[in-house]
Amino acid sequence: MTSRTRKLLSLSTAVLCAFMLFGCSSTKENAGESGNQGDGGSKAKKTITITYRDDGTGSNGTLFKWITDVASRYPNKDVEVKPTPIQASEGDYFAKIALALKSKDTAPDIVTEDTFILNADASAGYLEPLDDKVKAWEDWSNGSFIEAMKKGVTASDGKIYGVPYNTDSRGLWYNKQIFKQVGLPEEWQPKNWDEVLSAARTIKEKAGSDVVPIWMNMGKATGEATSMQTYEMLLYGTGERLYDDASGKWITKSQGITDALSFIETINKEKLGPPLSKVLNGQAGNNSTREYLPKGKLGISLDGSWITGNYLEGGAAPWPEYKDVLGFAPMPTNKGQAPGSITLAGGWALSIPSNAQHKDEAWDFIKFALNKENTQKLVVSSGNITVRADVAKDPGYSGMPFYQIATDYLKNAEFRPAQDKYPEVSTQIQTMVESVATGMSPADAMNKYATDVTRIVGQDHILEK
Amino acid sequence: MSSLAVAPAHKKRSTYTWLFYLLPSIAIMLVFFIYPILLTFFYSFTNLALTGEAAKALKFIGIDNYVRMFQDPTVRISIWNTLVFLIGSAVIGQQVLGFLIALLMKHKNKMFRRVVGTIVLAGWVTPEIVCALCLYSFFGDEGTLNAIISFFGIPEVTWLFTVPMLTVIIANIWHGTAFSMLVFQAALDDVPTEIEEAAVVDGASKWQILFRITIPYIRETITTNMMLVTLQTLGVFGLIYAMTGGGPGTSTTTMPIFMYNQAFVNYQLGYGTAISLLLLLIGIVLSLFYIRSMKE
């Protein structure tokens, strides 16, 4: 090889290397351009994407079926609606969403937001304010939406960042057959925590070792379910709150916190709960609702009103007998003090990311997807409670088992603090609950919680009682 | 990379030519290695967050993240867990077991070496996450191990909850031993048989040969392997995350798990990057320690 050809060869190698280096970025730009052609007014069909959490059920999932069904009936045929689920545990979903919303390349056109994180995502600038859009939407202003439910989608800046599509309440699901077998009343209405514990003790004694007396999610892996269904249901039942609205401070130490944690401690010390190996993983919620409860291996389950969605035909764990076997009792306050029972309400909304490519098309689709007919289909198939007054009156909805009870519980409903620090505080709650479940004393766990929350919200924003 | 530059070195070339040939690799190093490290370093002094107010307004907060790290008891727990995991699975487990397997296979017949070698290698070629799921189902409540022991009438044990650290250590040994075995096989093959034979003639016992001749002869390999295995183990995330998620409580929360939790569960990316730098620092300190002990 002559030195000239050798030089040429090395030069071309270097150039090739450089191309390889920048190869990825140029492809991405091209992809972006072709994606934008749709915006330029050409006749090409526009694709809007909807991101939601897939809990592992894939094309059998309620949301997937609902989205494809609504999309197939969507009158605007120039728009194609594409589900882009994120398969993740409840805890991971929100981190993945936040990462996706950060960039124009990955942000979907519509995203399902849990109302607890909506405020934080809005503060981060990830979501588009929808005030102008909802104002012009008849359904929003003519009383179709229950007024109180609009609070959940209003962030601390007073703007609206989503259209709610469901809400929920929480209480004690119990298996009437097991109750009958051990001699407990089939129409059960515990008046205080002691009655809940004594029922659990009776089940433990008489129902056999393969029946779990009471299930509450207690791990970090179950994320918000641990915070809300377990801890906050207990804490709010003591009369205590997470956040003091009057002073604008987070309550980091109080008798209520100790009481709530002591309840969890008792459950675990007396082995009234599920084995830790079952409850401290991300599948705990699914295991209790889809396996333990239908198979008669669980007596009482402190859980959300939506779990019946699993038992419907086409649900994740069809169980037609659930109407007769299950009971849904209100969660009592700790000593039975007024208002007697407590529930927390949450819910989900459809939001439009600030980085969405097709905001107008997304909004038009949301209006169609969350009209009366489609909202009703969704809440009935998912087992949730509706946020629309017109759906609530419809016999096709109100006739479903348990819906009336679940809706009744909403009368005493409490909401999580609409604070952008809540999601972070919530992860500290999960850590605290899990540490008590695994043997730490309530006092130590509360002290650690106090330190961690102080670090998150700052010394000036905490309150010790 | 250096072999690229050395290959055509028949003629003397100017510095610029060298540099020119090295350019692609330097560029790759800069873009994929130096730049992210600098960026991480920068972010560790900020309040970078995944969501909330801080996600919009990035603020420089000085050494707050580092102060917080030294006050956080979980950091101490996670450093301790990392060291236990490191010593248990890398230093003792992979290193010693890998050496033993290599030693026992030496001078054995070809068929035996092939069969045993393949079995050990199977753990290594299995992707980390598959390996984690295999061992999860092995140690799980209704897993293989419990099925075996209950067959013999021994009561079942919730392995992943009673001895979580032991299960992840065993998993990592199972997964990584083959690497050490391969390294030691190569090294042991290089030990000249004449020396060993001479020692036998002089009346040395098998143990004396092992500790006085074989091990000193491959000492450099031991140190290099120790360093490689240590660095690999320090970064283990998927295996532990899939098996125990760092739990129960914090009993298997090693530093990578803790870092992930802070960054992606608590949404504190800035704090997470500070922890990752601490992990990097531990890696550097251990490497320096090994390099120094190699020189002595």
Residues A428 and A291 placed together within one structural domain of the fold: yes
Residues A369 and A337 placed together within one structural domain of the fold: no
DSSP-assigned letters across all residues of A282-349: TTHHHIIIIIITTTT-EEEEEEEGGGGGGGSTTSSS--TTHHHHEEEEPEEPTTS-TTSEEEEE-EEE
pLDDT of A10 reads 56
Whether A13 is in a domain gets the answer: no
Rounded-to-integer distance, Cα A226 and Cα A291, Å: 19
Q: Is A10 in Cβ contact with B158 (below 8 Å)?
A: no
In this complex, the residue of A125, A275, A427 whose CB is nearest that of residue B266 is: A427
Beta-carbon contacts of residue B228 (< 8 Å; ≥ 6 apart): B179, B183
pLDDT higher than 70, residue A19: no
- Order the strands of the A249-253 sheet from edge to edge: A243-244, A249-253, A462-464
What DSSP designation does A357 have?
S
Whether A15 is in a domain gets the answer: no
Rounded-to-integer distance, Cα B80 and Cα B83, Å: 5
Residues A111 and A211 placed together within one structural domain of the fold: no
Q: What percent of chain B has pLDDT over 90?
A: 54
- Min Cα distance B25 → chain A (Å) is 9
CATH class held by domain B72-295: mainly alpha
Residues A60 and A161 placed together within one structural domain of the fold: yes
> Among residues A358, A382, A404, which one ends one of the domains?
A404
Structure tokens at B6: 């050395």
Q: Is A282 in Cβ contact with B247 (below 8 Å)?
A: no
Q: Is A98 in Cβ contact with B249 (below 8 Å)?
A: no
pLDDT higher than 70, residue A376: yes
Residues A191 and A205 placed together within one structural domain of the fold: yes
In this complex, the residue of A120, A277, A280 whose CB is nearest that of residue B51 is: A120
Q: Where are the beta strands (DSSP E) in chain B?
A: none
Structure tokens at B99: 């050496």
pLDDT of A29 reads 37
Residues A341 and A351 placed together within one structural domain of the fold: no
Average pLDDT, chain B: 89
Whether A35 is in a domain gets the answer: no
Nearest to A71 by CA among A361, A449, A419: A361
Whether A389 is in a domain gets the answer: yes
pLDDT band at A138 (very low <50, low <70, confident <90, very high): very high
In this complex, the residue of B31, B50, B247 whose CB is nearest that of residue A434 is: B247
In a mutagenesis test of the A interface, which of B47, B76, B265 is the best target, namely the one with the most A β-carbons within 10 Å? B265
Residues A63 and A97 placed together within one structural domain of the fold: yes
* ipTM exceeding 0.90, yes/no: no
CB contact residues (below 8 A), chain B span 222-261, against chain A: 245, 247-250
Pairing between strand A79-83 and A46-51?
parallel
Asked if A333 contacts A412 with a C-beta cutoff of 8 angstroms, the reply is no
Indicate the pTM of the whole model.
0.82
Count of structural domains within chain A: 2
3-state secondary structure of B283: helix
Residues A83 and A224 placed together within one structural domain of the fold: no
- Which segment of A31-40, A361-370, A424-433, B169-178 scores lowest on mean pLDDT? A31-40
Residues A281 and A323 placed together within one structural domain of the fold: yes
> Which class for A322: exposed (0-12), middle (13-18), buried (19 or more C-beta within 10 A)?
buried
CB contact residues (below 8 A), chain A span 378-437, against chain B: 420-421, 423-424, 427-428, 434-435
Q: Looking at chain B, which residue has its C-alpha nearest residue A221? A: B245
Q: What is the pLDDT of residues B85-97, one digit of tens each?
A: 999 999 899 999 9
Q: Is B27 in Cβ contact with A21 (below 8 Å)?
A: yes
pLDDT of B12 reads 63
Whether A38 is in a domain gets the answer: no
Q: Residue A155's domain is classified under what CATH number?
A: 3.40.190.10
pLDDT of B174 reads 94
Report CA B25 to chain centroid distance, whole Å.
Answer: 25
Instruction: Confirm or reject contact between A439 and chain B (CB < 8 A).
Output: yes
Rounded-to-integer distance, Cα B176 and Cα B91, Å: 11
Which range of residues forms the domain containing residue A251? Answer: 170-345+417-464
